[in-house]
Structure 1
Amino acid sequence: MAIILCMPTDVSPALSGQPPALPARPALSRPNHASRWLAMLLALGCGLLGLGLASHYPLLPSLAVAAYLAVLAASFRWWQAAPLLLIGLVPVLGLATWTGWFIFEELDLLVMAAAAGGYAAYALGRVDSKAQAWRRPLAPSALAKLLLLLFAASVLLSVWRGIQDAGGLEFGWWQGYLESLNGPRQAKGLVYALLLLPLWQRAAASRPDRIERGMLFAMCLALAGIALAALWERVAFPGLLNFSSDYRSTAMFWEMQVGGAMLDGALLLCLPFALAALMRQRSPVLLGLLLALVLMASYAALTTFSRGVYLALPVTLATLLFLSYRQHHARSTSLAEQPQHLETALRALPLLALLGLFGFSAAQIFAVAGYRGLLALSGTALLLLFAPRQLLVEGVGARALVLSMAALLGTLAAGLSWSVANWIPKSAYVIYGLSFALGALLMWRPPSRMEATLRTMLVSTVWFWSLGCVAVVAGNWGGELALRATLWPLALWALAWVWLLGAAPQAADRLLALHWRVRAILAGVLLVSGAIVSTLEGGAYLGERMATGVQDLGARVDHWRSSYRLLQSDEERWLGRGSGRYMATRFYSGPVDERVGDFRLGDEAGQPFLRLSGGRHLLDYGGMLRVTQRIAVPSGPLTLQARVRAGEAAGLFAEVAEKHLLYQEGRSHKALHVKGKPGEWQTVQLKLDALPRGAGGDWWAPRLITFAIAETVAGKELDVGELQLIDASGRNLLANGDFSAGLARWYFTSDRHHLPWHAKSLPLHLQFEQGWVGLWIWAALVAAALWRVSLGRARAHALAPAVAASLVGFLMVGLFDSLLDAPRISFMFYSVLLLGLCLRALPPGVVQDSRQ
C-alpha cells in the first residue's frame, strides 16, 4: 500500500480544447526522488525473491530460471502491457499436479517477474513520473484508499493471527493446509494485486486507452485458456456430449483437488469482459473469434453442473446489458437521437419470439432426434436469422404467390430427400448438408441480376427444403415416429418464414435490416440456447443435481453452522481465527468422525519418508486422501514395490488410472494389508493389472495417467520409505520415489469428500479468517466498487458494465463456496475489484489523443 501513496500526484492544468501531445519516452536515468528509490528497492526485492523461487522449481530449475529472467526482461521492456497481460495467463499456469508445489506456485514467479521489471522501468526513468492528474483513468478516491488501507491492515492482522495459531512461523518448501505458511499463501492474492496496482496506474496514465483494451484482451485471453482446457478435459475423459456422467469440469484449476468452485468463479469473472468486447467489436474476424470464445465458455459453464453458476449467469448477463444500455442511452447528444423505449421494445419482440420458438422446438426435436436433429434445426434457424433484405417483395398478392410456390417446391424437394434417405443409408446428413450449404450461399449472395420475385422464390424454396431436411434427419435417426413428432414444430418455423417475408414491409424490414453484428450476436445466443437444451435433455446428471437441490442446501446450511461454531470466543468472532486456518481448525477441533486424512514428509537419520494418515470418516473409494503423481502411459501389467512401516495394522492402497484431477476413467487398483511391526521396515509388492487398451487417449485429446497411494484404515498411520512402479517393459515410472527431493512431483486429492476443506461460503470464509471487522471492511470495498462503476464516477467508462457484472457474478457464486482460499482466483478477483475502485471516465479527447 505504501507505493500507492508515495507515487507523485501532480495536479494538472485544466483540460483545453486540444489535448497536448504525449511526451516522448524518457531516457534511462538514475533514481532522483523518494518514489523512484522505493521502486528500485521493490524491483530488487521482487527480482531476488522470484529468482530464489525459480532456482527451487521442482521441474528443470535451470530452465525455470531462464524463463523467469526472460519474463523479467520483457516486463522491463514492455512495462505498460506486462502487468495486465499477466492476468490472462493466470488460469492456465497452474502446474501443481506436475510439480507438487502447494505453498508456492507459478503465480509467484509471474508476479515477481512483472513487478521487478515494471518497477525497475519506473526507477530507471522509462516511466513518465509526471503524468497529469486529468490523464489518469485509474485514480482511487480518498474513501477507496482508506478502505484499502483498513482492509490491508485486517489481512495482515489475520496472517499474524494465523501464524500464531499454527504455533509460530516455520519455513518449509512442502508445507500444506495445517502448517503456518498456509496463512501467507491465502493472503497473497490481495498482496499481488496491490503490488501491481501502481504499474497499472502508470500504464493507464501514459496511454488512457490501454487500460480498456488491455483489460479486455487479458480477460478474453484468460477465458480462452479456461474454455480450451475445459473443452479438452471433456473430449478426453467423459466425452464432449456425455451429460449423463457425474463428471464436473475442473480445467486447469488444480486447487479443486479438494473440491471448490474455482472454475465457476473464474468463468463468472472473465465472461462479462468477453461479452463486452463482443458487443462493441466491428471487425468480422474478431467478432467471429469472440463468438467462438463465448460459445466455448458457455459450454464450460454448462459442464460445471454448478447450480450456483446457473443462477449467477442470468443475473450477470442482465447486469451487463442493463448498464450497457444505460451507457448507450446517456451518450445520446439530443432528445431526437435518444432511442424510444416503446419502439425499441416492439422491435425486440419478434427477436425474442424467434429465440423462444427455437428453444421450444429444439426441446421437442432433441427429444426424438438427438444431437443430429438439434444441429440441423440450428443450421436452418441461422439461415432465417441471416436472411437478406433483398428478399422483400412489393405487393400482397405477389408475396402470397411467391411463398406458396416456394413452400410447395420445398416440400416436394424434402419428400424426394426422404425417399433418397430411405434408399441410401446415412445419406440424410449429406442431403441436409447440401441444402444448408446452398441456402447459406444464397443468403450470403442472393442472385442480384435475377428478377425480385424469382429471387425470393428461389431462396425461399431452398430454405423450405432445408427445413424439411430437418425432419428427414430426425426420421433417419428415430424412425417415422420421430419424423411425425418434428412436423408440427417445423410447421411453426414455416409460419415464421411466411410472416417474415409476407408481413407488412415496414415490420419485416425491421428484422431484415438488422446490422450483421446484431445478427451474429443473436446467432451466438441461439447456439447457446441449443447447448442449454442439449445439457438439460441430453443427460440425467443435471436432473439429479436439480432434484437434490433442497437437500444439498440443507446440508450446506448445517455445514455453515458447524463452521461458525468453530470460533469459540468473542475475540475470534470479531477478529477471526487467522488466515489459512479453517481446515486446520476443523481438523483439530471439529468432530472426530469427520477428520480427514493427512500426509507429511518425515526424516529419520537423513532418510526421508512419507507418512500417510487415514481419515476418521468413511474411507470408501472416493473418500480416501490420495497422494499422487503423473506418470507416462504404462506398458502392460505393473508391479509396485514399496518399503513401508506400520506401528499398527494398516492398509496400502495403490491405483493407476486415467485421471485429470478428481474423476477416474480406466483404472487398475488394489489394496494390501500391512502388518503392524513397530520400528521395522517391510518390503511389500503389489501386482496391478494393465490399463484398458487405448489408455492415454489420442494425441489431440490425451488422457493423463496418474499413480496414487493411500492409507485405507481409518485413524491409522503408514510410513512409506521408497516406491518403484515397474511396467512390463521394465521401466520405473515414478520420479522421486524415495522422496529425496521432498514432495517434488507428488500432490494430493480428496476426490469426493470435500466439505471439511472449505467453509463453502465466501462471507463465512472471510468472517472465519478476519472476523466481523474484516468482513464489514471487505463488504464496504465491494459496495464502493459497485457504486463507482454503476452510479459513480466510472459509470460512463467503457469497462464499467463489465466490471460490475463480473463482481456481481463472482459474488453470487461466492454465496455457496469460499473461492478466495485459492490464491489465483483471489488475485483475479482483487484485480477486478481494484479496477472497480480506481476506474474513472475521462474526457473523450484524452482517450482519442492517446490512440493517435
Structure 2
Amino acid sequence: MKTLPFNPLHTRGLSLLLLLAAAALGVFIALHHPLWQPVPLLGFVLAAAWFFVNPGLWLVIVPALLPLLGLAPWTGWISFEEVDLLILAAAVGGYARCAYRTSACSLRLSWSCLFLAGLMSISLLLAMTRGFADAGGFVFGWYQGYDGPMNSVRIARSFFLALLMVPLMAPQHDQSATAVARKLALGMALGLATASLVALWERLAFTDLLNFSSDYRSTALFWEMHVGGAALDGWLLLTFPFAIWALRNAVGAPQSAIALTLVGLAAYASLTTFSRGVYLALLVSIPLLLWQTRSKGVLGEAGDQAPHWGVVRWVVAITCLAAMARLVFPYGGYRGLLALFGVVVVALSTPLVLRNTPPGRLLAGSVLGFLLGALLVVFSNFLPKGPYVLFALLFFSVFGLLHAPKVMAVRFRPAICLGGFVCLALAAANVTGHWGGVEALPGSCLALAMLFLVVLVGALARQPLWPADWRWQGGLLTIALVVSGTVAVFFGGAYMGDRFSTSGQDLDWRLSHWKQAVALLETSGDVVFGKGLGRFPANYYFAAPNGASPGAYQVRGEGGQTWLYLLGARHPMSVGDIFRVSQRLDLAAQGPFELKLKVRAGADVGIHAEVCAKHLLYSADCAIGTATIKASKGTWQPVQLRLEGKASAGGPWYAPRFKMFSVGILNQGGAADVDDLVLTAGGSDNLLANGDFGQEMQRWFFTSDHEHLPWHAKNVLVNILFDQGALGLTVFLLMTLGALWRLNLGKARGHRLSPYLTASIIGFLAVGMFDSLTDVPRLAFIYYLLVLYAISLVAFGPPPTTLQATRQTPSPREAV
C-alpha cells in the first residue's frame, strides 16, 4: 500500500501549522476553564512540554486518563472537556518535536486512510453546518446545552482530534512499530483499569458491593450518562480485549497477578452495568478474540506437556463452574460462593500431587480426611465464627502443603493432601450450612462432590487434564470469578431477571424509537446529508409521541438580569421523573438545609428542591423541600424552603459519597423562572456558586434520571444516519469495514494487535446496536483513533508476517 511521501521541508511546515493550531485552541480552552485558574493553563503548558520530551507516551497517558477527565458535573461544561486539553497538549508536544527534529518524524499516512478521513471530514463539516442552521444559526457559547449550535461542535470534535493525533502514531526513528503498538495497548488496558476502579468506588459508595437487587447501574465518571446512554458500556467493550493482551504479555508473577486483577475488575464493572448489550457484546467479542489468537493457552502459555484446551473443554469447564455456583448460591449466598471458590483454588493443584499414587492410598486418604473433617466441623460449631475460622486455617494449610513439597515426606504427602482436600470440602459445606441453614447443604454437598470427582479423575488420568502453568490456572480462576459473579447477578436479585424478562418488549420500544428517529429526516437533503450533528434531542423534543417531553431549561436575561427558566416533564411523573438542574456540594456540607430563592410563574406551579447523596442518576438519603407557587403575573415571589429528611454523611474515606443539590418542576407541564438561589446549612454562607446565573450555567448541570429515549437515537447507525445522512453513514461503514478488512484479510492481519483491535471494534459496534455511542465524544475519539490506526498499520512499518510471530514469548523489555 502506497503512503503519502513527506520530505523534511513538508514535514516541518505541516508540523508547525498543526502545532500552532493545537496550541492556540488549547490555550483558548484552558483560559476559560471554570475552575482553579490558572491551574488548567499551567497544566496544559507543562503537559505539552512533557510530551515534547516523551512524545510516544501520549499513547499510554491519554487512554489511561480519558475515563477520568470529564468534570461536567462540577464545571457545567459539556461543549468542551478536560480531556480535550490533554489531547491538544499531546499534539503540541508531538508536533513541536517534529518541527524541531524533522528526522524524528515521518507523519506517514496511507492513501486509503487519507481518502476515507477526507470523506468523513467533508461529511462532518456539512453536517455541522446543517446543525448550525437547524439551531437557528451559529452562536458561540461555553455553556450551551444539547439544543444549542455548540452541540454540533461537541460531536464533531472527536473525529478531528483523532485525525490530528493519527500521524503521531507513526513510528519515529528511535522506536519501532511494535513499541507504538505496545504503548497503545498498555494505555487501553490502563484506561480499562481506571474506569473499572471508579465503578468499584461507585458501588462501594452508593450501594453494597454485592447488591444485585437494586436498579443501580454503574456509570463511573462518564457524565454523559446523565441522560442515560451507554458511555461506560462502550468504553468497557473498547478496552476489555486489552486486558487479555496484558495477561498474555505479562512477565513474572507480579505482572500476571496485576493483569488477572484487571480482568476481574473489568468483569465486575461489566456485570454491574446490568446491560444486556454489554453481556451480548462480550459474548461476541471475547470468544472472537480467543479464537483469533489460536494459542495453546490464551490466558497463559502452557508447558510442553500441557493439553490443548479447545472450545469443547472450555465449554465443559465453564458449564461445570456455573452449575456448581448455581447449586451453592441460592441458599449459601456469597459466603458459600467464596468457600466454593477456595476449594476450586486448591482443586487445581491437587491432582498434580496425587498423580501415580496407588488407588488404595487415595482411598485411605479420603476416608481419613472425611473422619477428621467431620470431627473438626462438629468442634468448630461450638466456637464463635468457628466455621469461618476453620475454613481459613484449612485453606492456608492445604494450599501451603500442596506448594511446599519439602515439608512432608514424599511417600505420605499425596494421601495427606487428598485428606486435607476432603477436610476443606467439608469445611466449605459447613460454611454454607452455617449461613444458609439446612436447606443450603444439599446443593453445596452436590457441588463439592462434583469437584471431588474432578480431582479424582485428574489424579487417575494418564495425561494431566489441565496445564500446571500457574498463569493458565490464574486465568481459569478469573473465569471462575466471572462465572460466579454472573450467577450472583442473575440469581442474587430480581433486577437482572426482570430486565431479561422484558427484553422482547424493550426491543419493540427500540424498533419503534428507531423508526421515529428516521422519520424525523423529512427532506431529501436530510436523508442524504443528515439533519445536523447533535440535533436529535432538539428535534425529538417537538416530535415526542403524545408530546411527552422530559423537561427543559434555558438561561434567559433582560435588562442586565439573568435567571433560569425551568419546564417540567410533559407526562405523568413521580419524583424520580423530575427534570433536575443540579450543582455539586462540598462533601462536608451537613444539614439541616434551608433554601431561599425567587420564583416567577404564569400559572400555579410546584417547586421541588433536594440535597441528596448522588453521583449522577440515583438519589439516596435526600433532604427534600417542596412549595406550591401561585401565578404571579410577572412578579418575582420570594420563597423559603426548609429541606426535610436525612442528609447523608460524606461516606468512608475510601468511598466518599458525592452530594448534589437539585431543583426542578414538580407538576406535569409546569413552568417557572427561578433566580437568586441561596442554600445554607446552620447559618453557613451560601453553599451554591452562580446562584443568580450571571455566568450562565457555570457550575450547574442537568439530569434526566429516568427519561432517556428523548436524548439518544439508541443505535449508532441510526444516530449517524440522523446526524450525517446516508453520506456520513456510508463513509462510517467504509472506514469500519476497511479497518476490519485490513486487520483480518489485508496486510495487517499478522500484526500483534490485530486480534485485539478487531475484538475492540466489534465489541463497540455490538453495544452500538442498542445505543448511540458516537454522541459521546470521548468514546468516539478512541473509536476513530483505533479505526484510523488500523487502516494505516501497514504504513507504519513491517508487522510480523505470520501468526507464529504473535506466539513468540515477549522479551522482558518488550513485555508490559
Question: Normalised by the shorter chain, which TM-score bucket?
Answer: over 0.9
Aligned residue for 1:356, secondary structure, equals helix
Shift of 1:399: 2.1
Match of 2:355 in 1: 392
Amino acid at match of 1:483: L
Aligned with 2:322 (options 354, 359, 362): 359
- Report how far residue 608 of structure 1 moved: 2.1
The one-character-per-residue Cα deviations of 1:683-728 (angstroms, maximum 9, x if unpaired) are 1011112425x52211111111110001223434311220111112
Residue of 459, 477, 502 corresponding to 2:435: 477
Instruction: Write the letter of the residue equivalent to 1:542.
Output: M
Alpha-carbon spacing, 1:449–1:349, altered in 2? closer, same or farther (3 Å):
farther
Distance (Å, rounded) in 1 between the aligned partners of 2:605 and 2:20: 51
Amino acid at match of 2:332: A
User: Would the aligned equivalents of 2:59 and 2:184 in 1 still touch at CA under 8 Å?
Assistant: no
1:344 to 281, 290, 308: 308
Counterpart of 2:57, as a letter, is A
Q: Distance in 1 between matches of 2:418 and 2:559?
A: 85
Confirm whether residue 625 of structure 1 aligns to residue 579 of structure 2: yes
Task: Tell me: CA distance 1:7–1:603, structure 2 relative to 1, closer, same or farther (3 Å).
Answer: farther
- Secondary structure of the corresponding residue to residue 541 of structure 1: helix
Q: Secondary structure at the match of 2:749?
A: coil
- Give the unaligned 5+ runs of structure 2: none
- What secondary structure, in the 3-state scheme, does the structure 2 residue paired with 1:640 have? strand
Contact 1:121 1:127 in 2 (8 A): no
Partner of 1:806: 760
Aligned to 1:556: 510
Scaled by the length of structure 2, what TM-score is found?
A: 0.94
Alignment of 1:265-280 (within 5 A): 265-280=234-249
After superposition, the Cα gap between the structure-2 partners of 1:378 and 1:307, relative to the gap in structure 1 and judged at 3 Å, is same
Please list, as runs of the form range in 1=range in 2, the aligned pairs for 1:182-581 lying within 5 A after superposition: 182-203=151-172, 206-325=175-294, 344=308, 352-387=315-350, 389-393=352-356, 398-447=357-406, 450-452=409-411, 454-504=412-462, 507-508=463-464, 510-511=465-466, 513-581=467-535
What is the CA–CA distance in structure 2 between the aligned matches of 1:814 and 1:340, rounded to whole Å? 43
Within the candidate set 591, 601, 612, 1:636 is matched to 591
**Long gaps (5+) in structure 1:** 11-31, 132-138, 330-336
Give 1:148's aligned residue. Answer: 117
Q: Which residue in 1 is equivalent to 2:127?
A: 158
Asked whether the equivalents of residues 177 and 799 of structure 2 are also in contact (C-alpha less than 8 Å), the reply is no
In 2, the alpha carbon distance for the partners of 1:836 and 1:386 equals 41
Q: Which residue of 2 aligns with 1:673?
A: 628
Pair 1:747–1:571, CA change in 2 (3 A):
same
**Structure 1 letter corresponding to 2:423:** W
Shift of residue 266, structure 1, vs aligned partner: 0.3
CA distance in 2, matches of 1:624, 1:281: 49
Identity of aligned residues (%): 38
Following the alignment from structure 1 to structure 2, what is the Cα–Cα distance between the partners of residues 328 and 174?
51
Q: Judging changes above 3 Å, is the alpha-carbon distance between structure 1 residues 386 and 282 closer, same or farther for their aligned structure 2 residues?
A: farther
For residues 635-659 of structure 1, what are the alpha-carbon distances to aligned partners after superposition, in whole Å with 9 as ceiling and x for unaligned? Answer: 3321100022223322211011111
User: In 1, distance between residues paired with 2:731 and 2:173?
Assistant: 27
**Could you tell me which residue of structure 1 aligns to residue 798 of structure 2?**
842
Which residue identity is paired with 1:445?
Answer: A
Structure 2 CA distance for partners of 1:519 and 1:421, relative to 1, 3 Å: same
What's 2:687 paired with? 733
Q: Separation in 2 of the partners of 1:483 and 1:429?
A: 16
Following superposition, the deviation at residue 353 of structure 1 comes to 3.5
* Contact 1:421/1:476 (<8 A) preserved: no
Moved over 6 A (4+): 326-329, 845-852
Q: 2:68 aligns with which of 92, 102, 109?
A: 92
Partners of 2:16 and 2:171 in 1: CA distance: 16
Other structure's SS at 1:248 match: coil
Alpha-carbon separation, structure 1, partners of 2:604 and 2:21: 50
Query: What secondary structure, in the 3-state scheme, does the structure 2 residue paired with 1:740 have?
Result: coil
Q: Distance in 1 between matches of 2:408 and 2:431?
A: 34
Deviations 1:161-218 (A, max 9, x none): 1111112111111111111111111111111100001111144984322222101110
- Mapped pair 1:778 → 2:736: no
| Shift in alpha-carbon separation, 1:823–1:203, aligned structure 2, 3 A | farther
Post-superposition Cα deviations, 1:605-648, rounded to whole Å, max 9, x if no partner, equal 22221111223223422222100011124333211000222233
Deviations 1:490-540 (A, max 9, x none): 212111111111233xx23x53x5322211211211111111111111111
- Give the letter aligned to residue 440 of structure 1: F
Contact preservation (8 Å) 1:630, 1:707: yes
* Alpha-carbon distance between aligned partners in 2 of 1:717 and 1:374, rounded to the nearest angstrom: 52
Report the AA paired with residue 395 of structure 2.
F
What is the rounded CA distance, in whole Å, between the counterparts of 1:767 and 1:340 in structure 2?
54
CA distance in 1: counterparts of 2:288 and 2:110, whole angstroms = 24
Q: Aligned in 2, Cα 1:446/1:745: closer, same or farther, shift over 3 Å?
A: same
Give yes or no for contact 2:12–2:99 (8 Å, CA) kept in 1. Answer: yes
The partner residue of 2:600 within 634, 645, 648 is 645
Q: Is the 8 A contact 1:367 1:537 kept in 2?
A: yes
Deviates more, 1:195-204 or 1:366-375: 195-204
Distance verdict in 2 for CA 1:708–1:104, change over 3 Å:
same
Return the alpha-carbon distance in structure 1 between the equivalents of residues 144 and 470 of structure 2. Answer: 55
Matched, 1:82 2:37: no
Going from structure 1 to structure 2, the CA distance change for 1:326 and 1:519 (only over 3 Å counts) comes to closer
Contact 2:162 2:785 in 1 (8 A): yes
2:775 alignment partner in structure 1: 821
Q: Which amino acid aligns with 1:364?
A: L
Q: Alignment partner of 1:816: what SS?
A: coil
Change (3 A) 1:446 1:787: same
Contact 1:98/1:746, CA 8 A, preserved across alignment: yes
Q: Shift of the alpha carbon at 1:149?
A: 1.5
Decide whether the 8 Å contact of 2:155 with 2:776 is kept in 1: yes
- Structure 1 length-normalised TM: 0.90
Letter of the 1:636 counterpart: G
Q: 1:569-603 CA deviation, whole Å, 9 max, x = no partner?
A: 12211211111111111123444622232112222
Q: Is the 8 A contact 1:631 1:705 kept in 2?
A: yes
Change (3 A) 1:723 1:812: same
Alpha-carbon distance in 2 for matches of 1:412, 1:748: 65
Q: Is the 8 A contact 2:353 2:402 kept in 1?
A: no
Q: Secondary structure at the match of 1:736?
A: coil
Query: Hey, what's the Cα distance between the residues in 2 that align with 1:130 and 1:34?
Result: 10
Change in 2 beyond 3 A, CA 1:69/1:570: same
Work out whether residues 638 and 690 of structure 1, in 8 Å CA contact, stay in contact via their aligned partners in 2: no
Q: Which moved more, 1:350-359 or 1:429-438?
A: 350-359
* SS state at 1:239 partner: coil
Q: Counterparts in 2 of 1:91-130, with a 5 A limit? A: 91-125=67-101, 128-129=104-105
Out of 114-123 and 583-592, give the one that drifted further: 583-592
